[in-house]
Amino acid sequence: MAKENKKLVEAITSMEEDFAQWYTDVVKKAELIDYSSVKGCMIIKPAGYAIWENIQTELDRRFKETGVENVYMPMFIPESLLEKEKDHVEGFAPEVAWVTHGGLDPLPERLCVRPTSETLFCDFYRNIIQSYRDLPKLYNQWCSVVRWEKETRPFLRSREFLWQEGHTAHATAEEAKERTIQMLNLYADFCEEVLAMPVIRGQKTEKEKFAGAEATYTIEALMHDGKALQSGTSHDFGNGFAKAFEIRYTDKDNQLQYVYQTSWGMTTRLIGAIIMVHGDNSGLVLPPRIAPVQVMVIPIQQRKEGVLEKAQELCGRLGKVCRAKLDDSDKSPGWKFAEQEMRGIPLRVELGPKDIEAGSCVVVRRDTGEKLTVALEELEEKLPELLEEMQREMFERAKAHRDAHIWDAHSYEELCDIAANRPGFIRGMWCGDQACEDKIKENLAVTSRCLPFHDREQIADTCVCCGKPAHKLVYWGKAY
């Protein structure tokens, strides 16, 4: 490892020493974010925003394939509108930012900056839905939202963050439920296929569900430190909001019916998940499919005649098969290597005078450090293969890590022991009583992550907390 390389790497704490500090160091040193003079709000820098752009492009394409259309709603919600659905306002009012003045004049009614837009969409749907012919409505918006959190962390919890929020209205309860699950599965597939991040799909308990929802579904990922991260949620509202907002349509028999609604969202927090699932002690590691730059071409002895020209030509050729970039800055190769590693760029191509003479170059994989010598004329074929291989193996490694950190607790004693000593998901039976959920959360700082869809094993007959008969398997865990 070159001297400069060490210098940049030493700038980040190792994850074994202090995972939280490692995370903070990576987001800063990989130049994903910067702090702003607005407490709790972050600046997303080009390297971070480019990841978000790729997330947007891919999700948006998948949404549109299911018939979703994009709209834009106002960022302000009048206080009286926020208050229309009782559970919803109770959930959000304590953490919204209030606008009280427009210019020099006090406003007749306070406006909150949207923490989420259910109330605005309901107000809109009430106006535009009259007949069954107007259904379904499948709208989504990309925007920023504000929640006045007390403690903040870049990407994971900030006072303002970017997201998409889908809001749909349907004629029947079945159709709404179907859409809720469809979007959850879309999120899960996106995480697994594009972010190389395995997720558990399941349902939230009553305690953990969204304010105003009938049911909340979630995907839960496991970070490298063994903590869970809720990575996307999809809510089935039944007709609760429709009743509060009087959203009705005339059905085919000319009867007035309430609509059934859903909402679903994913946020910039996904970037935090990518960091904590794939990162290592040299910095960020980006799955190739989401990486803004997939291949960094780094010339060696670039002042020697012909090197830079050859590197430029190569980069131009590679640009046709992947997202390639040339680092022709006047930094040393060692420093460039360290930067490319810190920023998580999947592949590095090293090209010096000797390589050019031999008609080959050195390709280095970011995830494994593996070095390959590849003939220059084979690069266009080889690099896309390598990127796909890396994408697949990154998913497999993350899955193996996740699966090796799922523990079964058959009793409260065992639960306490695991919660204290073994990072990861804990499988434990639950009687369904919220008192047990409260007790576990209060005593062990462990929350119910979900009742999983695809894992219904009856690992015991009794509740892991109270010992009463239990039939529900719950994934528990410490969470971000």
317-to-246, 260, 308, 378, 457 alpha-carbon distances in Å: 59, 52, 14, 11, 52
Nearer to a second copy, 26 or 146 (CB): 146
**Widest CA span in the chain:** 82
Nearer to a second copy, 286 or 415 (CB): 286
Q: How far is the CB of 341 from a second copy (least distance, A)?
A: 21
Q: Is 144 in the site for a second copy (CB under 8 A)?
A: yes
**Across the strands, what pairs with 406?**
425
Is the distance from CB of 12 to CB of 24 less than 8 angstroms?
A: no
Q: What element of type H or E holds 235?
A: strand 228-238
Q: Find the binding residues for a second copy in span 54-113 (CB under 8 A).
A: 69-78, 81, 93-104, 111, 113
**Binder of a second copy out of 12, 15, 82, 162 (CB under 8 A):** 162
Nearer to a second copy, 150 or 454 (CB): 150
Q: Which two tokens stand for residue 327?
A: 């680092």
Q: How far is the CB of 141 from a second copy (least distance, A)?
A: 8
Q: How far is the CB of 252 from a second copy (least distance, A)?
A: 12
Q: How far is the CB of 243 from a second copy (least distance, A)?
A: 18
DSSP state of 134: G
Amino acid at 403: D
Nearer to a second copy, 17 or 72 (CB): 72
Q: Is 251 in the site for a second copy (CB under 8 A)?
A: no
394 Cβ neighbours under 8 A, 6+ residues apart: 196, 278, 285, 287, 367
**Binder of a second copy out of 3, 46, 246, 413 (CB under 8 A):** 46
Is the distance from CB of 323 to CB of 282 less than 8 angstroms?
A: no
Nearer to a second copy, 75 or 173 (CB): 75
Q: How far is the CB of 105 from a second copy (least distance, A)?
A: 8
Q: How far is the CB of 43 from a second copy (least distance, A)?
A: 6
**Binder of a second copy out of 2, 9, 43, 459 (CB under 8 A):** 43
**Across the strands, what pairs with 468?**
none
Is the distance from CB of 295 to CB of 348 less than 8 angstroms?
A: yes
Nearer to a second copy, 68 or 436 (CB): 68
Q: How far is the CB of 316 from a second copy (least distance, A)?
A: 15
Q: Is 442 in the site for a second copy (CB under 8 A)?
A: no
Q: Find the binding residues for a second copy in span 114-133 (CB under 8 A).
A: 120, 123-124, 127-128
Nearer to a second copy, 327 or 437 (CB): 327
Closest CA to 243 of 263, 259, 262: 259
Neighbour-count burial of 115, counting CB atoms closer than 10 A to its CB (0-12 exposed, 13-18 middle, 19+ buried): buried
How many Å apart are CA 64 and CA 66, to the nearest integer?
5
Q: Is 45 in the site for a second copy (CB under 8 A)?
A: yes
Q: How far is the CB of 443 from a second copy (least distance, A)?
A: 28
CA atoms within 13 A on the CB side of 166: 31
Size of the site for a second copy (CB under 8 A): 52
Q: Find the binding residues for a second copy in span 6-35 (CB under 8 A).
A: 34
Q: Find the binding residues for a second copy in span 317-376 (CB under 8 A).
A: none
CA atoms within 13 A on the CB side of 419: 25
Nearer to a second copy, 28 or 401 (CB): 28
DSSP 401-460: HHHTTEEE--SHHHHHHHHHH--SEEEEEE-S-HHHHHHHHHHH--EEEEEESS------
Nearer to a second copy, 146 or 186 (CB): 146
Is the distance from CB of 245 to CB of 126 less than 8 angstroms?
A: yes
Nearer to a second copy, 124 or 407 (CB): 124
Q: How far is the CB of 24 from a second copy (least distance, A)?
A: 17
Nearer to a second copy, 8 or 460 (CB): 8
Q: How far is the CB of 41 from a second copy (least distance, A)?
A: 4
Pairing relationship of beta strands 295-299 and 324-326 according to DSSP bridges: parallel
**Binder of a second copy out of 37, 254, 255, 421 (CB under 8 A):** 37
Q: Is 143 in the site for a second copy (CB under 8 A)?
A: yes
Per DSSP, the three-state class of 219 is: strand
312 Cβ neighbours under 8 A, 6+ residues apart: 326, 328
Q: Which two tokens stand for residue 71?
A: 């709209």
Q: How far is the CB of 67 from a second copy (least distance, A)?
A: 11
Q: Where are the beta strands (DSSP E) in 288-357?
A: 295-299, 324-326, 347-351
**Binder of a second copy out of 30, 44, 277, 286 (CB under 8 A):** 44
Q: Which two tokens stand for residue 352?
A: 């010096």
Q: How far is the CB of 203 from a second copy (least distance, A)?
A: 29
Positions that interact with a second copy (CB under 8 A): 34, 36-38, 41-46, 49-50, 52-53, 69-78, 81, 93-104, 111, 113, 120, 123-124, 127-128, 139, 143-144, 146, 148, 159-160, 162
